[in-house]
Structure 1
Amino acid sequence: MIQIVEHAPHEGPDAIGVALKAAGLPTRVCRTWAGDPVPDTADDLVGLVVTGGAMAAYEDFPGRDAELALLRAALDAEIPVRGVCLGAQIGWADVRMTEAAHTDALFAGVPERLRVLHWHGDTMDLPAGATLLASCDRYPMQAFRIGGSALGNAVPPGGGRDGGRRLRRRLPEEAATAPGLVESAPAELAVLARHRDGVFKCFAAFVAARAEQTATRAFFTRRAATWEERFADDGPRYAAAVDRMALRPGARVLDLGCGTGRALPALRAHVGDAGLVLGIDLTPAMLTAALREGRDNDGHLLPADACRLPLPTAALDAVFSADLINHVPAPAMALREWARVTAPGGTLLLYHPSGRAARYGSPLDPDDPFAEHNLRPALRTAGWDLSRYEDAPHHFLARAARVAG
């Protein structure tokens, strides 16, 4: 779901809403100007769009604290965020793209210089850690990016399909302070609209391409801080599962979807100081929790996508994966990727501290991908040979060997 926060009835989603709809992305609108409460969690979001409203960047408004909390939650979970406004009410100005804009996923197609109509006169400081993408003399913060997923911009403008009509209604009022504004407006607005729509289309494609990852990351981010407390009894269970892998000293092993790293101490104990232990997770907040628990003493922690591992072919001797395969968007692709990074004869252990009946209830669905008659051929197709399958009341365990070829 894409959450749109709308501050004023004349600043609706419009053009960006059209781009999101064209990409097949469902949206919901929080109309703060009508009294709608701002959502108190980002759990179910794959994108967040905040449209213009307040006439000054630091102006207070109803729901401001709740909105800032939602933005912080979205940034923490690396949910794609788009903040859109129109700029400053000073007439036309040349906006320059920075060097960083040339390689930006959204702004790479925008011209080096672009004439922009600015709408109101406030300015703001560049957020800490942000990368400036576009600037002009009167309003330096035209566009910026925070991390790899959040973008704030006044250019190209955020106005919707009726933006041109609204601007043209105001042009006579501005003509006295901005000579030539009326005459140049239609052509200039057409250029702006073309680039605006291009950027919005790129944003929609960006959101759609990573929607499954975003949903997973959003779900686990809010829970990461209390994960160890909630599952404090799992340590011995994970250690018992690792025992079943028969790891040898010096082996190279990966805990995939490591979360807070509960399996890392047991993996390190088996491979010893000469072995290599990696812990990979998609959610940075989980890795932060693992660091708090000191799990970096047992293995190297890396943020990465389970379907696109930053590892060379045959780099590992074993992969441990607890309660992950049901969270990846493409399980078959994931199993193939795990086979790619595992040397022939290496081990894969799929584990959960509860059996399927305890998790799903009875009777079990025969189409469940974890049923043996479904899991075995899926593993075989991906390059694994299932050698052990246990679906007990208190655990699920499937062990497979990497086949050659």
Structure 2
Amino acid sequence: MIQIVEHTAAESPSAVAAALAATGLPVRVCRVWAGERVPDTVDGMVALVVLDGPPGAPAAQLALLRAALDAEVPVLGVGTGARLLALAADGGAGSYAPSDGAAPQGALHDHADHTDHAPAPHDEGGVRVLRIGPSAWGVRRHPVHPVPYADGVYGRFAALVADRAERTTTRAFFTRRAATWDERFTDDGPRYAAAAHRMELRSGQRALDVGCGTGRVLPALRDQVGPAGVVAGVDLTPAMLTAAARQGRGAQGHLLLADACRLPLRTGAVDGVFSAGLLNHLPDPRRALREWARVTAPLGVLLLFHPSGHAERAARHGRPLAPDDPLTEGNLLPALRATGWRTACYEDAPHHFLLRAVRTAD
């Protein structure tokens, strides 16, 4: 959902709303001028747009903008919204770039791919674009030119939002929960460790936890591969990796910020991949399995785990297993075969889900 915050009745979303509507994503407008309350969290948001309005620094808007910046939710501030964005970033290193109806060179890149530097401050067509961080942009209009010529910037922003929608939702959900994640699931630790040991890795081998969260399984992987081995944990949410580091789990392995479907590893880099509670939440499970096979050496192992049984979880939530559920045996095993894996074990028990597969030799 794209959240728009509207401060005055006169300042409607207009051009930016049209660009965002073209993404096909749902749009929700908070009309502050009509007494509507600004959301407390960014849960469920794929973008946040704060429009122009009267001067001031409303605490609720600043808190929401800070939460969006922390979770790397794409943010667009217009007029006063751009000023609030800068305040929310606490005077962060924003830089100005010219816009003539199209985003400036280097604008609106995913941070993992961004290499360009914004040009020097410049004003053209009555529009200036303020960049703060990897995905936050403010459009500041010159008072002499009340009509915004920022349609190109809005279009680029909308394209960014659409491209990142899935990962934005994930980051927004986990960022707010990262600090207390281990406290909420303290009883699961030994079960994760027991599952990891079923990978049967050997001393000196290389292990990867995809979707590692707070890194709770990294010590168990380190136990198997020993000091001569290599352990790494990958997660999409920076706050989760920060929580892992605070727990001292960075000492057990490398912590990497990356997409599970685009791992920053060479082909055949690891001997085993562990992943808990992730595959069925990815938009393209086969793409993920293929990527995990790419980074795994022949005869390496994949272990998928969840501390609750797959069928049991569906029953607990009062729903049957969907025919297209990627973790059902009839769907998962063919997907594994098609992506370079041979299934060795499939368990959907009342108290855990576990699959062990072996990377086929090329």
Amino acid aligned to 2:200? A
Which residue in the other structure is 2:188 paired with?
A: 234
Render the CA deviation track for 1:278-309: whole Å, top value 9, x for unaligned.
00000011111101110001000011000111
Looking at structure 2, the residues matched to 132 and 337 of structure 1 have their Cα atoms a distance apart, in angstroms, of 33
1:274 aligns with 2:274: no
**Which residue, out of 73, 81, 90, partners 2:75?**
81
Looking at structure 2, the residues matched to 363 and 96 of structure 1 have their Cα atoms a distance apart, in angstroms, of 52
**Aligned residue runs from structure 1 range 251-400, under 5 A:** 251-361=205-315, 363-400=320-357
Looking at structure 2, the residues matched to 103 and 366 of structure 1 have their Cα atoms a distance apart, in angstroms, of 43
User: Sequence identity, in percent?
Assistant: 62
TM, length-normalised to structure 2: 0.86
1:66 aligns with 2:69: no
Which residue in the other structure is 1:52 paired with?
A: 52
**Which residue, out of 353, 359, 362, partners 1:402?**
359
3-state secondary structure, aligned to 1:235: helix
1:152 aligns with 2:138: yes
Check whether the contact 2:97–2:104 (CA below 8 A) recurs between aligned residues: no
In the TM superposition, residue 365 of structure 1 has moved relative to its aligned partner by 3.8
Amino acid aligned to 1:371? T
Render the CA deviation track for 1:34-88: whole Å, top value 9, x for unaligned.
1110011110100000011024xxx24xxx1111111111111100000011899
3-state secondary structure, aligned to 1:49: strand
Which residue in the other structure is 2:113 paired with?
A: none
In the TM superposition, residue 33 of structure 1 has moved relative to its aligned partner by 0.9
In the TM superposition, residue 259 of structure 1 has moved relative to its aligned partner by 0.3
In the TM superposition, residue 102 of structure 1 has moved relative to its aligned partner by 2.6
1:18 aligns with 2:21: no
Looking at structure 2, the residues matched to 231 and 135 of structure 1 have their Cα atoms a distance apart, in angstroms, of 49
The structure that has the greater radius of gyration is: 1
**Aligned residue runs from structure 1 range 110-259, under 5 A:** 135=121, 142-155=128-141, 167=146, 193=149, 196-259=150-213
Gaps of 5+ in 1: 89-94, 107-130, 168-188
In the TM superposition, residue 153 of structure 1 has moved relative to its aligned partner by 2.2
Amino acid aligned to 1:44? G
Gaps of 5+ in 2: 84-95, 110-116
In the TM superposition, residue 101 of structure 1 has moved relative to its aligned partner by 4.6
Looking at structure 2, the residues matched to 199 and 4 of structure 1 have their Cα atoms a distance apart, in angstroms, of 16
3-state secondary structure, aligned to 1:253: strand
**CA distance 1:96–1:364, shift in 2 (3 Å):** closer
1:4 aligns with 2:4: yes
TM, length-normalised to structure 1: 0.77
Runs of 4+ in 1 over 4 A off after TM superposition: 131-134
**CA RMSD for the aligned pairs?**
2.5
Deviates more, 1:308-317 or 1:79-88: 79-88
Deviates more, 1:282-291 or 1:326-335: 326-335
Amino acid aligned to 2:333? R
Which residue in the other structure is 2:90 paired with?
A: none
In the TM superposition, residue 151 of structure 1 has moved relative to its aligned partner by 1.1
Which residue in the other structure is 1:123 paired with?
A: none
Looking at structure 2, the residues matched to 294 and 262 of structure 1 have their Cα atoms a distance apart, in angstroms, of 10
**CA distance 1:96–1:391, shift in 2 (3 Å):** closer
